[in-house]
C-alpha cells in the first residue's frame, strides 16, 4: 500500500469518525437530483501517468437520516367495555369496523361504533350539552337522520335518537349510553381481542388501530427533534418499489427496559395505487442540514496536512499535480463540501 493511499484512508476515517460522534444513527446522502450527476462523474478517467481523477462538482449537498422501521397500522389503542352484562360476541383480529357497525356484543345486544375522539363518559339525554353531544349529532347526521349539528341535546336530537334505536331494534328510550355505543376515532381495524366470551364486561375489550398503513420507527429521545410531527420525509417499503412521500403524524415518548428515553414515531405516507405487502421492513429518510451551491469532492480525495487540515491534489492540463489546501464543510454520501483555490470541473486525484 502506498503512502498516499494510507494517508487518504486515515483522512477519510477521521472525517467519518468525527461525524459519527453523537450521531451514530445518521447516514449521509445527497439529494436525488444530485445523485444522477455524481453517477456520471463516477466514471473517472486517468491522465497520461495513469492517475485516477474525478471532477470537482458544484451543487447542493444534503445530509439525510435513514431509520429502520416496520410497515403496519400504527400503535393500538384500547376500547374499554362500558356496557353491563356478559360478552356474547367479539370480532376477529384484522376485522375492520365502520360507523354504526358492532364493536362487540353484550347479552346479545350489539355495542355500535360511532366516530369521535371524546370518550362516552355519561348517558346522553335531553338537556345534555358538550363535545360528546356534538359527536352524537354529527354521527346521526352522517347516517341520514334529521338533527342539528350542535352540542345541545334538544327535541330534534331526541327524535332522531329514538328513530335510530327503532331502526336498530333497540329499546326506544331517547337516551344513549355505553350499552349501545362506543366512540372510536374513525373506522378502526381490530388489532387484538382482550375480552373473553362468556365473561362479564370489565376493563378493555379490544385493541384497535387505524385502517391506514403507516411506518413505525423508534429513535432515541435526543434525536426526536429531527422527526417532529408534521415533518416531511420519504418512505421506502421493502418489496414496494421506490420512495414515497410521507409525513410524521405522531411522536410518543417511551422508555426502554434499561431506562433509556426513546420516542415512537408514526409516519403516514401516500402509496397511491401501489400494492403493499401484508408485512415488511421499511425505512424512513429525513433530510437534515443542506448546503446550497457548494463545491464538493469525494472524501477519498482529501489528503491530511498534519495538524493543519486537509488538501486535494489537483491535476493540471500538463498532467502535473498540485496540492491545494481546502477547508472541509458538510460531508454527505461520501462527498465533502470544500472551499479553497478550486474551480468546478477541476480534476482531483482519488485512490485507484
Do 152 and 269 sit in the same domain of this protein?
no
- Residue 218 is part of a domain; what is its CATH number? 2.40.30.170
Q: Transcribe 191-213 into DSSP letters.
A: EEE-S-TTSBP-SEEEEEEESS-
Name the residue range of residue 259's domain: 68-73+213-288
Angstrom distance (rounded) from CA 263 to CA 146: 45
Angstrom distance (rounded) from CA 91 to CA 274: 29
Do 82 and 177 sit in the same domain of this protein?
yes
Cβ neighbors of 343 (< 8 A, separation 6 or more) are 56
Do 107 and 201 sit in the same domain of this protein?
yes
Q: What is the pLDDT of residues 256-301, one digit of tens each?
A: 888 899 999 999 999 999 999 888 999 999 988 889 999 999 999 9
pTM of the model: 0.68
Do 297 and 284 sit in the same domain of this protein?
no
Average pLDDT over residues 317-331: 92
Domain boundary (210, 228, 246) is at: 210
DSSP-derived 3-state class of residue 186: coil
Domain boundary (210, 237, 260) is at: 210
Q: What is the pLDDT of residues 189-247, one digit of tens each?
A: 999 999 999 999 989 999 999 999 999 999 999 888 889 999 999 999 999 999 999 99
Dihedral (CA of 162, 164, 166, 172) sign: negative
Domain boundary (250, 273, 288) is at: 288
Domains of the chain: total: 3
Secondary structure in 3-state letters for 333-349: CCEEEEEECCCCCCEEE
Do 284 and 304 sit in the same domain of this protein?
no
Amino acid at each position: 500500500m502506498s503512502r498516499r493511499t494510507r494517508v487518504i484512508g486515515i483522512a477519510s476515517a477521521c472525517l467519518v469518525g468525527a461525524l459519527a460522534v453523537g450521531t451514530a444513527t445518521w447516514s449521509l446522502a445527497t439529494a436525488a437530483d444530485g445523485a444522477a450527476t455524481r453517477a456520471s462523474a463516477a466514471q473517472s478517467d486517468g491522465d497520461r501517468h495513469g492517475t485516477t481523477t474525478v471532477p470537482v462538482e458544484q451543487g447542493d449537498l444534503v445530509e439525510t437520516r435513514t431509520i429502520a422501521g416496520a410497515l403496519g397500522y400504527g400503535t393500538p389503542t384500547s376500547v374499554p367495555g362500558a356496557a353491563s352484562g356478559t360478552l356474547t360476541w367479539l370480532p376477529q383480529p384484522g376485522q375492520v369496523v365502520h360507523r354504526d357497525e358492532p364493536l362487540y356484543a353484550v347479552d346479545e345486544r350489539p355495542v355500535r361504533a360511532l366516530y369521535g375522539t371524546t370518550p362516552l363518559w355519561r348517558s346522553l339525554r335531553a338537556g345534555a350539552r358538550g363535545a360528546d353531544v356534538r359527536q352524537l349529532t354529527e354521527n346521526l347526521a352522517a347516517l341520514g337522520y334529521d338533527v342539528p349539528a350542535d352540542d345541545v341535546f334538544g327535541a330534534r336530537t331526541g327524535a332522531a335518537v329514538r328513530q335510530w334505536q327503532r331502526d336498530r331494534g333497540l329499546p326506544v328510550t331517547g337516551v344513549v349510553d355505553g350499552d349501545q355505543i362506543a366512540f372510536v376515532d374513525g373506522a378502526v381495524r381490530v388489532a387484538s381481542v382482550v375480552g373473553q366470551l362468556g365473561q362479564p364486561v370489565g376493563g378493555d375489550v379490544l385493541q384497535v388501530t387505524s385502517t391506514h398503513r403507516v411506518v413505525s420507527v423508534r429513535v432515541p429521545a435526543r434525536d426526536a427533534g429531527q422527526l417532529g410531527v408534521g415533518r416531511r420525509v420519504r418512505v421506502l417499503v421493502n418489496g414496494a418499489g421506490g420512495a414515497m412521500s410521507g409525513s410524521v403524524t405522531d411522536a410518543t415518548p417511551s422508555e426502554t427496559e434499561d431506562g433509556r428515553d426513546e420516542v415512537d414515531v408514526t409516519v403516514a405516507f401516500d402509496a397511491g395505487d401501489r400494492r403493499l405487502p401484508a408485512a415488511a421492513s421499511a425505512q424512513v429518510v429525513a433530510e437534515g442540514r443542506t448546503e446550497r451551491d457548494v463545491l464538493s469532492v469525494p472524501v477519498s480525495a482529501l489528503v491530511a496536512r498534519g495538524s493543519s487540515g486537509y488538501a486535494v491534489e489537483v491535476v493540471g492540463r500538463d498532467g502535473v499535480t498540485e496540492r491545494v489546501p481546502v477547508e472541509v464543510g458538510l460531508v454527505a454520501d461520501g462527498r465533502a463540501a470544500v472551499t479553497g483555490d478550486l474551480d468546478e470541473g477541476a480534476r482531483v486525484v482519488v485512490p485507484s
